Chains A and B, each alone.
Chain A
Amino acid sequence: MKPIIGIIDAVLVKKGKKALADLEVASQDPRKANEALLLKILDENKDTEYGKKYDFASIKSIEEYCKRVPYSDYDTYAPYIDRMVKNKEKNLITAYEVIQYAETSGSVGVQKKIPVTYESMKVYEKYSFARTKALADKYYKQTYHKHVPFEKGLNMLETETTTMEDGTPTGSVTGSVSRRFRKLFRLFLTSPDEVLFPIGGMNMNYMKARFALEEPKLVFMLSGFMTNFVDMLNYIKKNWEMICNDIEHGEINAEVIEERVRPVMMKYVKRNPRRAKELRAIFEQGFDTPIIPRIWPKMSWACAIGTGGFATYAEKYKKYAGDKVAIDYFVYAASEGMFAACINMNDPRFMPLTDSCFFEFIPTDTDDDTKTLTLDQLEKDKEYEIVITNQCGFYRYKIKDVIRVVGFHNNCPLITFAYRKGQLVNIAAEKTTEEHLNEAVKRFGKEINIDINDYALYIDSEPAVSRYVMLLEPDSPMPIDQDQKYGKLFEKILSDINPEYGFFALVRKSIDTPLILVQQQETHALWREFKLHRGSSANQVKPVRILDVPVKQKFFLGLVEKGQEVPNWNTYGNKK
C-alpha cells in the first residue's frame, strides 16, 4: 500500500470513528442531543425574515417551538427561494450561506430547488465515506480479526456540474460532496477523473466496469443506490466478451463513447492481455455462483442505499457478491438533509443523526397531528410521519415520509423507511406499503420458480370492487395465461404479509383479487436509461412503484407482454 494511501486510510478511519463515537454519545440521550441542535438552529437563524416572523429569539424549548411555528412544506418556502435565486437575497429563511441548490428526484411531485448550506454539507461529509470506512474496519476486526486493506475502490457516483443562471451550483448533494474530494479520488478509485466527473457522452456502465475489472485488488464499491451496482453487473454479464477484448488490446470501444472524448480516455488504457485472460477464464465459468469474489478476491465491502424501494436490488447485488462482502446500507437521506445512517455492517437499520436535523414524529395511527413526539418517545414496531427542521432554512417541514421504529441502540430508536405518503396503496384502509409489496413479490417469485426482477402497480377502481394491478417483470419468460392462478396466489401471499389487506380482501371482499400482468423484460432498466437520456442524474433515478402519473402509466402499461388484457386503459386511447 502506497504511503499516501495509508495516510488517507488513517485519516478516514479517525474521522469515521469520531462520527461513530458522536452517534454513540447521542444515542444515550437523543432528545437532549436533538434539542441542543434545535436551539442552536433557532438562535443562529433568529434574525432571518422567517425567524423574525415566528420570533425564534424568544423560543427556548421544544414545546414552545411546536406551539409557535407551524408545519411547512415546499410551497411555504417557494417564494423565499425564488427571491434567493433571482435576487440573490440572503437571510430570508437561513442565516447560513447557501452553497448550492439540490434538485429533488421528484418522487412525490415536481422538481424543486432545495437550498443546501455549508452546515448541512458538513453533515454529509461526516457521515458518508469516513463513517463507512470506519464501519468496515470495525466489522473486519470483529469478524475476521484483521484490518481491511484500503486499496482500490469503485465509485459509481457521477457528478455532473450544472449551474443556475447566477452560477450557483445545482445537482445532487452527494455530487457536491464528491467535488470537494475530487483531487484525492485518483489515488484510490479505479475510475479516472473524467468518468467520475463526466466530460462528455459515454456509457457509464462500460466505463466504470472497464477500469474496475482491470484492477484485481478491488476492495470496496460505493454507490448512491444499489440499482447502480446491479445495472453495471448486469452490463458486465451481457458484455464481458467485448470488455475483455478491449482490456486485452488496450482499447475503449468506440461505440460506448463520444468521438471527441475517446482520445482523452485512451491515455488511461494500455494492453493488458494477462488480466483479460484471467477475466475470460472467470466469465466462461458463468454467473451462477457469485462472480464478485472471483473477479475481485479482495472485495471486502460495499456501500449503497439498498432499503425501501431498493431492497429488491440489494437482493440482486447479494447474488453477485455472495456472503463475504459486507454491506453498509449507507444512509436515509433526501435533498433536504441526511436524516439517519447505518451504524453496523449488514444491518439495514438507521440511527437518526441528532446533529443533522431536529426531528418530530406524528403517529400514523391517528389523524391528529397537533401533537408531535420526539426521539425519546417513539415505540418499537410503530410507524410515524417524520417532520424535520434542517440547517438549510426548513422548519417543521413535512417531507411526506413515514418511518418505522425497528429497534433501539441504547436509548435511540433505530428506524427504517416505510413508505412515502401518497405512495401508499390503499383501497379500503388496508395500507399496503412498499415493504409489503417487496416481500410479496419476492415470495411470489419463489413460489412460481421465476425470479421477479422488478415490479410496479396501479389501482383499477373501475369495477364494482377495486383491485391491484401488479405488473411483474420476470428475469426469464413467464406465462401470460396464468393470471387467474397468479392472482389468487399473490392475494394469499400479500394477505399473509399484510393482514389488513387479507381482512379486506378475503373477509370483507372489499378488494378484488389482484390482476397480474407480465411486464416485458428489461422495462425497468429501459425506464432508467430513458430518464438518464432525458437529463436526470443517475444519483436520483429511483425505481417506479406506483403508476401514479400519466407518463409512468403509459410507459409501463405500453410495455406489458402482448396478449394480455390491460384493464380500463381507454383513457389513453388504447384499444387493447
Chain B
Amino acid sequence: MTIKQKKENDKLTVYIEGRIDTATSPVLSEHLQRELDGVKDLELDFQNVEYISSAGLRVLLFTQKTMISNQGKMVVSHVNDDIMETFELTCFNEVITII
C-alpha cells in the first residue's frame, strides 16, 4: 500500500493505493493520525484501492470519529464496486459519506 496526499489549507486529500488490510491498516492509521491536525475537510481517494478488510474499516471508523470530534468532515471517493458492496453489506455506507 502506498499513500500520497495533497493539502490545501484545511482540506486534506489522501490517495491510497493497494490493499488496506491487517498488515497495512496500521500504516494508514499512523499516517492519518499524524496528518489530521488542523484538517477540517478530509477526502480519502479510493481510486486505486483494490480491497479493504475489517482492519481497514476500523481505521475508517476511527478516522470518521476523529473528524466528527473536531467538527470536520470525511468523505470516501472513487470506491470500486467490490468495496462499495462491502460498505453496503456492513452498513458502513450509513455512517460514512461516499461520493
Contacts and interface: CB of A to CB of B under 8 A. Distances in A.
Interface of A: 200-203, 238, 242, 253-259, 261, 520-523, 525-526, 529-530, 533-534, 551, 554-555, 557-559, 562, 572, 574
B33 A253 contact: yes
Contacts, number: 79
A523 B61 contact: no
B33 A255 contact: yes
B90 A530 contact: yes
Interface range on chain B: under 10, 10 to 19, 20 to 34, or 35 or more?
20 to 34
11 contacts: A255-B33, A256-B66, A520-B22, A521-B53, A529-B58, A533-B95, A534-B95, A554-B89, A558-B86, A559-B53, A559-B57
Given A258-B70, A559-B54, A572-B89, 12 more contacts: A202-B69, A256-B66, A520-B55, A521-B22, A522-B54, A525-B58, A530-B61, A555-B90, A557-B89, A558-B85, A558-B86, A574-B89
A562 B51 contact: yes
Nearest to B71: A259
Contact of A526 (B57, B64, B68, B69): B57
Nearest to B34: A255
A238 B22 CA distance: 12
B58 A526 contact: yes
A293 to B, nearest CB: 27
Contacts of A200: 69
B54 A521 contact: yes
B90 A558 contact: yes
B90 A258 contact: no
Interface in B28-76: 32-33, 36-37, 51, 53-55, 57-58, 61-62, 64-66, 68-71
B91 interface: yes
Contact of A533 (B33, B51, B65, B70): B65
A10 B1 CA distance: 57
A558 B52 CA distance: 11
B14 to A, nearest CB: 14
B53 A520 contact: yes
B57 A258 contact: no
B41 to A, nearest CB: 15
Contacts of A238: 26
